[in-house]
Amino acid sequence: MARLFWFLFALAMIIYTAMVAWTLPEISQSAGGLPAFDLRPKGYSAEEGRAFLSALSDAGRALYLGPQALLDLAYPALLAAVLSLGAHLMLRPGFRWLRWATAAAAIAGSGCDYLENMLVRGMLRADPAAVTDWALRASSTATILKSAFSTLAFTLFLVSLAVWAARRLRRKPVS
């Protein structure tokens, strides 16, 4: 199971690096420097969302709907698996509630990420003037929830890491 964890971790980091070093900066640049929807953890207003959609070039839209969409298809599930499996490996035996809480938060964050992706894809395929305030609010809410659940999952994972480290330190003989 540890090998699986490290494989999934490496794959998630490769995809994350591709998004933060390539697709998301290029998308932002192609929208006049406005951040992509994925990079707005506090959400956005209908006006801000519409401004991004209007500023986004055809090349930026193609990048968002193509490579970024493919990367973001794999990343949420990989992240949820890494955080859940990592907590499970670090906390056995015991701390069952923390393992389950970490997994639940990670899976909820992943689900909200997929909902966000679906809503953003619909907005990117539409004419910016035709995108409704409801669609923009729904997408923004999914982004906020994704960010909140992901932050909770990372925090619980770090608590799991602290518990694991404390257990390891207690087991070492003092010289």
3-class state of residue 148 by DSSP: helix
DSSP of 59-78: HHHHHIIIIIHHHHHHHHHH
Distances (CA, A) of 109 to 49, 76, 101, 147: 21, 8, 12, 7
Rounded to 5°, the CA angle 108-106-75 comes to 100
- pLDDT tens-place values along the chain, 175 residues long: 999 999 999 999 999 999 999 999 999 999 999 999 999 999 999 999 999 999 999 999 999 999 999 999 999 999 999 999 999 999 988 899 999 999 999 999 999 999 999 999 999 999 999 999 999 999 999 999 999 999 999 999 999 999 999 999 998 766 6
3-class state of residue 157 by DSSP: helix
Give pLDDT, residue 23. Answer: 99
Measured between alpha carbons, how far is 149 from 79 in angstroms, rounded to an integer?
Answer: 12
Provide the 10 A C-beta neighbour count for residue 68. 24
**φ, ψ (nearest 5 deg) of residue 18:** -60, -40
Measured between alpha carbons, how far is 175 from 157 in angstroms, rounded to an integer?
Answer: 31
Q: Which amino acid is at 12?
A: A
Phi-psi region of 45 (alpha: psi -120 to 50; beta: other; left: phi over 0): beta
The domain in which residue 118 lies consists of 2-171
Distances (CA, A) of 53 to 27, 28, 56: 11, 11, 5
Number of domains in the chain: 1
Residue 159: HSE in the Cβ half-sphere, 13 Å Cα cutoff = 14
Q: Tell me which residue has tokens 């619980």.
A: 156
Closest among 41, 161, 155, 163 to 102, alpha carbons compared = 155
Give pLDDT, residue 175. Answer: 60
